[in-house]
Amino acid sequence: MLNKVRFFLSFGLLLLSGWLLAWGLLPTRRQLDEQTIQPGTLVVKLNGQVVESAVMDARQVKLEWPTSMRIGDHEMIQLEFETIENASSPEQQTGYTDAYNSYNIMTEARFEVAGVRIEPTNPTRESMPAGQPVRFKWEVSTERAGDYKGNVWLSLRFLPLDGNSPIQEAIYVSAVGIHASSLFGLSGPLARVLGGVGMLLGVVLILKDVVKWFRKRKIKNITKYAKDTKD
């Protein structure tokens, strides 16, 4: 009777540990937002007024983020700003010239959300050579379950080659929502550790009971065979 109880407890431990491990290892849901930034949107402006007939190549923004995550885990938010193949050049846009003739251009990105740790810290700036993609990555984590809402911003920073004051224009903003969850208050790393250890222990205990059962059965068969032979 005791052996049966121990076997069922071991099997229960194996199932519970497998559940913990599966929850801790399941991939999180992610969402992708894509938006095309047309050349007309990238005209250099100052206080809302066009200061020069300068424009850049048409580009595409790709933002990918986790819509769900486990507390204690680290997830990535990725933002790409890349040129569109086969798009018309700035010179082909009537009345415009290439912005790179007059400016060094940088991109500035920031992720604004309360209650979530962000690495690297905001804002993040990158130089943007003509025709080259720019990529930003943030690593986010939190120790509290809940819903977190924020915004990702992308701006262009024009640095005049003649030494005048820089011009900065926001060209993209997207709302980002992340749901952080826990399992009975456990974080992702802790659930994986407990699940892994529990499964290993459960397997060892079950195998131990199975080996004992086979040994007892073998001894019983040997004893029966010896008795039958003697008779």
> pLDDT value at position 219?
57
The per-residue pLDDT for 101 is 80
pLDDT in tens, 9-61: 777 888 888 899 999 999 989 999 999 887 666 666 544 555 555 667 778 99
Tell whether domain 28-181 is in CATH 3.40.1280.10: no
**Res 103: pLDDT:** 84
C-alpha pair distances (Å), 124 with each of 135, 138, 175, 186: 10, 10, 18, 33
How far apart are alpha carbons 79 and 61 in whole angstroms?
A: 7
Q: What are the DSSP E strand ranges found in 38-123? A: 45-46, 49-50, 54-55, 59-66, 68-70, 75-83, 97-98, 103-113, 117-119
Residues of the chain falling short of pLDDT 70: 1-4, 7, 39-55, 86-96, 209-231
Tell me, what's the pLDDT at 222? 53
Domain boundaries, the chain: 2-20+190-230, 28-181
DSSP at 71: T
Tell me the pTM: 0.77
How much is the pLDDT for 131? 82
